[in-house]
Structure 1
């Protein structure tokens, strides 16, 4: 049985700004390329500290946060610091591993869907649209 295609209109972007946080350069490049094809404005950083610094001056409609980051902050610590400064920051959790306690903790703090790598452009687009439409008060 073939899977029914979801119309692209249901997950296409409208120039929303997305920050990709991933320590793998290739993953950042692929993610940004997908996001731009979906109609988003994408930028990326390679560490949690870079993300915190970036968001001081440049707001993002949503962040895509890898939970496994090299450096002095992992994904959960990065998200905790970001929401301390920007309490309403929308986020998608991205990881190549199974859902963990850290993923669940980030979601308790307000992060949206968990998207497992590798993901399709359709899966990514649907998760972003859902998170952008989500009211933070109705988590």
Structure 2
């Protein structure tokens, strides 16, 4: 079974302050038949994650605002510990609070190719 078959019908939340990337990922996931929601901040992502369950959350690690990616993921996992999350990052800030709960969350480095992203999603959703 290929990635496109596995993704069809999945509920995915993408959280990133980079609006062109957010739009691109929304288009990619729509192409694969996903029900995709998008949030431009960790706070908005948390609001959406509280409203409904997601099969996968793809979140930028470094975001401005009240919640960076690590804080956002921590908050989601406190409410829904089985949530599948993948971090995206152009760089990893030394100040990021990657605690034990977050240490197993994979990080895909930006810029990434669509195939890299789909491979990582396959591993997380297996």
**What TM-score comes out, normalization by structure 1 length?**
0.78
Larger Rg: 1
In the alignment, what sits opposite 1:90? Answer: 84
SS in 2 for 1:36: helix
1:98, 1:116 within 8 Å by CA — same for their partners in 2? no
Alignment of 1:1-139 (within 5 A): 9-12=1-4, 13-98=7-92, 102=96, 105=98, 108-110=100-102, 111-133=104-126
Q: CA deviation at 1:101?
A: 7.0
1:17, 1:41 within 8 Å by CA — same for their partners in 2? yes
Contiguous gaps of at least 5 residues in structure 1: 1-8, 134-139
Q: CA deviation at 1:51?
A: 1.1
SS in 1 for 2:65: coil
1:76, 1:102 within 8 Å by CA — same for their partners in 2? yes
Q: CA deviation at 1:100?
A: 5.7
| Alpha-carbon distance between aligned partners in 2 of 1:40 and 1:113, rounded to the nearest angstrom | 21
| Alpha-carbon distance between aligned partners in 2 of 1:41 and 1:66, rounded to the nearest angstrom | 19
| Alpha-carbon distance between aligned partners in 2 of 1:127 and 1:41, rounded to the nearest angstrom | 19
- Provide the aligned length of Structure 1 versus Structure 2: 123
**What TM-score comes out, normalization by structure 2 length?**
0.86
| Alpha-carbon distance between aligned partners in 1 of 2:86 and 2:93, rounded to the nearest angstrom | 13
